[in-house]
Amino acid sequence: MTKPEVLFSEEDIRVRIKAVGAEIGAAFEGRELAVIGLMKSCLVFMADMIRAIPLELTCHTLRVNSARGEGKGQARTEIMYSASIPYEAKDILLLDDIVDTGITLNFLLDHIREGKPRSLKVCALINKPGERKIDVHPDWSAFTLDKAPADRFLVGYGLDHAESHRGLPYIGTIPRPAPSAEGRKITIAPDSLA
């Protein structure tokens, strides 16, 4: 297994989470916050962020499946898991691990807005504005990569590659695996969302 190169150290992360948590606390001062984190890559970020936000809050999780087909227009995003989340008249903070194309984030924002929250803000662990395909942006981000290395893959602090490296206390990079000769295949779960 390749040892990741450190991009953001454990101390870098600690400092940024504390600063962003204070900013979010000031923005929502005096209100109770419903924090929604995306499973699984966001769980470590969520655990640290909810301790850094000096407010009363509730915690919820969503799991999303995003599939990009080979042809144009063959993109599909669906919610795979969602416990009962009370959106209506709530102040919602959505935590996302990486905002790159914006496709998944845009889908989630539309979904949550249907529930008529009082307010909806987004905090990303990593923002990659140079990869945006939809004009959607987080309100806060711990780190911004204006030009992410094209040949490297982000891992650690909950981020994984094939379920490896999630437990690292830092965010690192590993060489991006070469695509297989067959191309990328994605299996999409059945349409049943209970």
Instruction: Indicate the pLDDT class of residue 191, thresholds 50, 70 and 90.
Output: very low
- The residues pairing with 82 across neighbouring beta strands, listed in sequence order, are 62
Side chain identity at 142, as an amino acid letter? A
Judge whether 100 counts as a catalytic residue: yes
- Give the model confidence (pLDDT) of 39-91 as tens digits: 888 999 999 999 999 999 999 998 887 655 444 444 555 555 455 788 899 99
First to last CA, the chain: 38
Instruction: Indicate the pLDDT class of residue 149, thresholds 50, 70 and 90.
Output: confident
What kind and span of H or E run contains 25? Answer: helix 10-27
Q: 3-state class of 110 per DSSP?
A: helix
Query: Which residue among the candidates 100, 135, 146, 160 is catalytic per the annotation?
Result: 100
Distance between CA atoms of 80 and 190, rounded to whole angstroms?
9
Distance between CA atoms of 70 and 170, rounded to whole angstroms?
33
- Give the model confidence (pLDDT) of 92-130 as tens digits: 999 999 999 999 899 899 989 999 999 999 999 999 999
